[in-house]
Amino acid sequence: MTRPRVVVIGGGITGLACAYRLRDAAEVTVLESSPRVGGNLVTVARDGFILDGGPDSWVAAKPHASALCNALGLGDELIGTRPETRRVYVAYNGALFPLPEGLVLGIPTRFGPMVSTRLFSPLAKLRMGLEPMVAVKLGDDDESVWDFIVRRLGVAAAERLAGPLLGGIFAGDPKALSVRAAFPQLVEMERKYGSLILAMRASRKAAAASGGKSAFVTLRGGIATLPEALAQALGDRIKTRSPVAAVELDGGWKVRLTSGERIAADHVVLAAPQRSLPGLVRGLDEELARLVEGIRIGSSATAFVAYRREQVAHALDAVGFIVPRAENTRVIAATWVSSKWPHRAPEGSVLLRAFFGGIGNEGVLQSSDDALVSAAREELPGFMGPIHGDPLFSQVFRWTKASPQPEVGHLARMREIHARIAAHPGLHLAGNGYDGSGIPDCIKQGEAVAGRIAAGG
């Protein structure tokens, strides 16, 4: 039996995972516009430091990324966060407060730390404590993350806990993000347990039984180790510097490159980012292009600054801090990279990274790289205390239109998008921001498409 010809557009983690799964079942070609594969998964090694410019890890509880690493022989390279710094600070009126222990996705699970925290007034604490008594919302209406948290836990929790934590995951606006699309597990918990606090307590007990493992996982040599291993396994099935201009139906599927070359295929997998997709399919299906274009996409930047340990006064006893919108700063969050992970900075040095941008804060991204580094150097000490002298080095990574927003109405939009895709047999869609956003969900989508193609679908 002849193997199907599959062209995968986009050599990010989604496209690579799809191609890897199909490597024996199909004649697969990955077309990647840039000189390197991996898309958002970027690692730079310099002066003994390891910088993950975009994503730095994935959620351990979602199995697809770790399973793929194991399949590629990278199992021994998987590492978790340092156990001694597994806490987060939140900025409030310019100072850092430790988030109360026992929070899961910003939802309190322990009574003591919530009672003792200075982050909330007694009234706000009482409101949160009443959460198990709040009625369950029935029906399938979509709701924003903000409205959901306010309804269950009160305004203060939305402002200072769950809003910045949950919104920050998407560099998004919690008032616009859909709780059903972005955090379906929270909706499920409300439905099943009648209370987020009770549900989280149950899941915390299960997590404790698993030995207090890290909630996040990465790779010792940096996150790009994963796409590099996939690229090695796929060999010359990958064509870099091959930007696709359009997908056409002309006596079968044809993928047209900007060079003018046309490649025939039995299946085409659209795994390019959402910002590129409308241009690829407009000639084929205007409505599909319009639907994808309707998904809002956020932009952000990360600025790394490296120091000798003695230059930074703070104890750096956490993974970093988040800054709620009300603080009105340019830095929206910071990771103390060398406290969060082992192997990211040489002994005696520290690596910090500041986040800029996100929905509603994108004006700052007009600034030059030097201006972003200056902003980080001005604002980090305001939160963390003195940082003496110049950094050993700094480096900025820009993420323009790289964070699709699953906003209210996203699930209904995705039903329409899937219906349009299904109307074109042989055309497939997977990737960031469609049916999930993080690395494990991208791999899951890419592998699901591969499974359907291998099964003859």
Ligand X SMILES: Cc1cc2nc3c(=O)[nH]c(=O)nc-3n(C[C@H](O)[C@H](O)[C@H](O)COP(=O)(O)OP(=O)(O)OC[C@H]3O[C@@H](n4cnc5c(N)ncnc54)[C@H](O)[C@@H]3O)c2cc1C
Q: Does 346 bind ligand X (CB under 6 A)?
A: no
Q: Given the complex with ligand X, which of 59 and 454 has the nearer CB atom? A: 59
- Beta-carbon contacts of 368 under 8 Å, excluding residues fewer than 6 positions away, are none
Q: Does 402 bind ligand X (CB under 6 A)?
A: yes
> What CA–CA distance (Å, rounded) separates 197 from 184?
16
| Residue 79 β-bridge partners | 218
Q: Which of 6, 7, 8, 13 binds ligand X (CB under 6 A)?
A: 13
Handedness of CA 47, 302, 294, 165 (dihedral sign): positive
- Which 3 state secondary structure label does DSSP give 97? strand
Q: Does 399 bind ligand X (CB under 6 A)?
A: yes
Classify burial at 382, counting beta carbons within 10 Å of its beta carbon; exposed 0-12, middle 13-18, buried 19 or more. middle
* Chain-centroid distance, C-alpha 44: 19
Q: Which of 145, 230, 439, 450 binds ligand X (CB under 6 A)?
A: 439
The Cβ of residue 107 has, within 10 Å, a number of other Cβ atoms equal to 27
Encode 191-260 in three state secondary structure.
Answer: HHHCCHHHHHHHHHHHHHHCCCCCCEEEECCCCCHHHHHHHHHHHHHEECCCCEEEEEECCCEEEEECCC
Q: Given the complex with ligand X, which of 117 and 302 has the nearer CB atom? A: 302
The amino acid at residue 233 is A
Q: Does 367 bind ligand X (CB under 6 A)?
A: no
Residue with tokens 């493992």: 213
Q: Given the complex with ligand X, which of 234 and 244 has the nearer CB atom? A: 244
Q: Which of 6, 41, 230, 380 binds ligand X (CB under 6 A)?
A: 41
Q: Does 447 bind ligand X (CB under 6 A)?
A: no
First-to-last CA distance in the chain?
Answer: 16
Site string for ligand X, 144-183 (x = CB under 6 A): ----------------------------------------
Q: Does 54 bind ligand X (CB under 6 A)?
A: yes
Phi first, then psi, for residue 434 (nearest 5°) are: -90, -80
Q: Does 10 bind ligand X (CB under 6 A)?
A: yes
Q: Which of 55, 102, 132, 278 binds ligand X (CB under 6 A)?
A: 55
Q: Does 56 bind ligand X (CB under 6 A)?
A: yes
Q: Given the complex with ligand X, which of 10 and 391 has the nearer CB atom? A: 10
Q: Does 273 bind ligand X (CB under 6 A)?
A: yes
Q: Does 33 bind ligand X (CB under 6 A)?
A: yes
Q: Does 283 bind ligand X (CB under 6 A)?
A: no
CB of 337 vs ligand X, minimal distance in Å:
12
Q: Does 432 bind ligand X (CB under 6 A)?
A: yes
DSSP string, 288-301: HHHHHHTS-EEEEE
Residue with tokens 């022989």: 73
Nearest to 412 by CA among 182, 181, 138: 181
Handedness of CA 108, 111, 117, 121 (dihedral sign): positive
Q: Does 311 bind ligand X (CB under 6 A)?
A: no
CB of 438 vs ligand X, minimal distance in Å:
3
Q: Does 18 bind ligand X (CB under 6 A)?
A: no
CB of 235 vs ligand X, minimal distance in Å:
18
Nearest to 454 by CA among 28, 164, 77: 28
CB of 27 vs ligand X, minimal distance in Å:
18
> What CA–CA distance (Å, rounded) separates 99 from 90?
6
CB of 169 vs ligand X, minimal distance in Å:
8
Site string for ligand X, 243-262 (x = CB under 6 A): xx------------------
The CA-based angle 177-181-183, given to 5 degrees, is: 85
Classify burial at 82, counting beta carbons within 10 Å of its beta carbon; exposed 0-12, middle 13-18, buried 19 or more. middle
Q: Does 407 bind ligand X (CB under 6 A)?
A: no
Binding segment toward ligand X, per CB under 6 A, in 21-29, 118-126, 398-406, 449-457: 398-406
Applying the rule CB under 6 A, the residues between 214 and 243 that interact with ligand X are 243
Q: Given the complex with ligand X, which of 157 and 364 has the nearer CB atom? A: 364
Q: Does 438 bind ligand X (CB under 6 A)?
A: yes
Size of the site for ligand X (CB under 6 A): 35
* Residues at the site binding ligand X, with contacts judged by CB under 6 A: 9-15, 31-34, 39-41, 54-58, 243-244, 271-273, 276, 300, 399, 402-403, 431-432, 437-439, 442
